[in-house]
Amino acid sequence: MLDKRQQKILKAVVYKYIMTGVPVGSKSLAESLNLGISPATIRNELSKLEGMGYLYQPHVSAGRVPTPLGYRFYVDSLIGRTRLREEEKEAILTLFSSKTKELEDLLQETTNLLSRLTSTAAMVIAPTLRRNLIKHVDLVPLAGEAVLLVIITDTGRVEKKLLDLEPQEREVDLDAVQGYLNRRLQGKGFEDLQEFRVTRGMRDPGAMRLAERVVEAIRDILTQEQYERIYVGGTTNLLRYLDEEGKSRIESMLRHFEEQYFLLNLLGEVIRAKELTVRIGDENVFKELQYFSLVATPYAVGEETMGTVSVLGPTRMDYARVIPTVDFIAKSLSRTLEMLRG
């Protein structure tokens, strides 16, 4: 159990190392802490903290560097106690003030902004279509006896599929079929569609056949998305903090960042977490990440988790800046999706 003086010294060491990347010595701590104690006393406390596993000394004449345990103490002391800078809040609010963006564009722009604000690799997991509700269905006639099916979901997702019209469907009133489908399907989700049948309100056999095929096409679209879609930005930020040896360790992993399955494994259980999660160093799943930290939090509509906002950066990332940024972006996404769902 750390006493108050040890806690203050430890937090100061972690903060200074995050800001400078240079091992922290007792003299600089004595000058900045204003505890009224000598560098010799601080050296003694640093030695105790090292013995307890919170700090280590790269070599005999160097200052101290935080261990994962030291970072963990520092991060736990920050949760719920940090605030977003006004200029960063303004940038996020400006992004989410647009009413015209499709969800895919918004999520990619969110990822890019998050990576820029935090100088990390950012990842945003999109709401899977299986969690979406149908908001509107459009049937757009095309030349060559075909129709374009356009599905708009309550989260703003837009999905399209081309349907070739069968002979009995070519004289069908598309507006009537579209109106029927919107009356029957609006507000329904993946589970509802499994039991849905076109059984009433359609007297024209051709119109009924087309309506059935449209419903089947929507089922196919929802079923084909087996995994969450992940938007990624700023992966090269990870290389900024490493020496040549560190870069060679991480470069092979970075090549996998375009693989959705790899990223889902990387994020692991944080995808299912209901609150902000920080994984530091070897707390992460992959051994390649022992020098990195993952900060993630879910965004939701009501009580239903829709996706995850996360960043991956060095263990000496600026947690006091990163944590509130990730949290505020997740809350902004939640509000946006709630407005879309109405």
Q: How many other C-beta atoms are found inside a 10 Å radius of the C-beta of residue 21?
A: 11
137 pLDDT more than 60? yes
Q: How confident is the model at residue 321 (pLDDT cuts 50, 70, 90)?
A: very high
* 212-221 per-position pLDDT tens digit: 999 999 988 8
Q: How many other C-beta atoms are found inside a 10 Å radius of the C-beta of residue 198?
A: 20
Question: In a 3-state reduction of DSSP, which class is residue 147?
Answer: strand
CA distance 220 to 218: 5
pLDDT at 329: 97
Q: How confident is the model at residue 246 (pLDDT cuts 50, 70, 90)?
A: low
CA distance 120 to 327: 15
Delimiting residues of CATH 3.30.450.40 domain(s) in the chain: 86-127+228-341
Q: Which CATH class is domain 86-127+228-341?
A: alpha beta
* 5-49 per-position pLDDT tens digit: 999 999 999 999 999 989 999 988 988 887 778 889 999 999 999
* 281-297 per-position pLDDT tens digit: 989 877 777 888 999 99
DSSP letter for 23, please: P
DSSP, residue by residue, 256-282 = TTT-HHHHHHHHGGGGG-SS-EEEEGG
* 173-193 per-position pLDDT tens digit: 999 999 999 999 999 987 888
* 82-112 per-position pLDDT tens digit: 889 999 999 999 999 987 678 889 999 999 9
pLDDT at 201: 67
Residue 159: its H or E element? strand 158-164
Could you tell me which CATH number the domain at 130-224 has?
3.30.390.60
CA distance 159 to 153: 8
CA distance 92 to 335: 13
Residues linked to residue 293 through DSSP beta bridges, in sequence order: 280, 313
Q: How confident is the model at residue 61 (pLDDT cuts 50, 70, 90)?
A: confident
CA distance 120 to 135: 35
Delimiting residues of CATH 1.10.10.10 domain(s) in the chain: 4-78
251 pLDDT more than 60? yes
Arithmetic mean of pLDDT over the chain: 88
Q: How confident is the model at residue 306 (pLDDT cuts 50, 70, 90)?
A: confident
Helices (H), 162-259: 174-185, 190-195, 205-224, 244-254
pLDDT at 131: 76
Delimiting residues of CATH 3.30.390.60 domain(s) in the chain: 130-224
pLDDT at 177: 94
CATH ID of 4-78, from 3.30.530.20, 1.10.10.10, 2.40.30.10, 3.40.50.150: 1.10.10.10
CA distance 332 to 338: 10
Q: How confident is the model at residue 151 (pLDDT cuts 50, 70, 90)?
A: very high
Residues 253 and 288: beta-carbon distance below 8 Å: yes
Average pLDDT of the segment spanning 220-247: 77
106 or 132, greater pLDDT: 106
117 pLDDT more than 90? yes
Q: How confident is the model at residue 310 (pLDDT cuts 50, 70, 90)?
A: very high
225 pLDDT more than 80? no
Average pLDDT of the segment spanning 233-237: 89
1 pLDDT more than 90? no
Residue 233: its H or E element? strand 230-233
pLDDT at 172: 92
Task: Give the pairing type, strands 121-125 and 304-314.
Answer: antiparallel
User: Can you read off the two tokens belonging to residue 239?
Assistant: 């290389």
Q: How confident is the model at residue 242 (pLDDT cuts 50, 70, 90)?
A: low
Strand spans (E) along 50-145? 55-56, 65-66, 121-125, 134-142
Q: Report the C-alpha dihedral over residues 124, 129, 134, 138, rounded to 10 degrees.
A: 90
256 or 220, greater pLDDT: 220
Residues 305 and 274: beta-carbon distance below 8 Å: yes
pLDDT at 43: 93
pTM of the model: 0.82
Residue with tokens 């010294």: 9
Q: What percent of the chain has pLDDT over 70?
A: 94
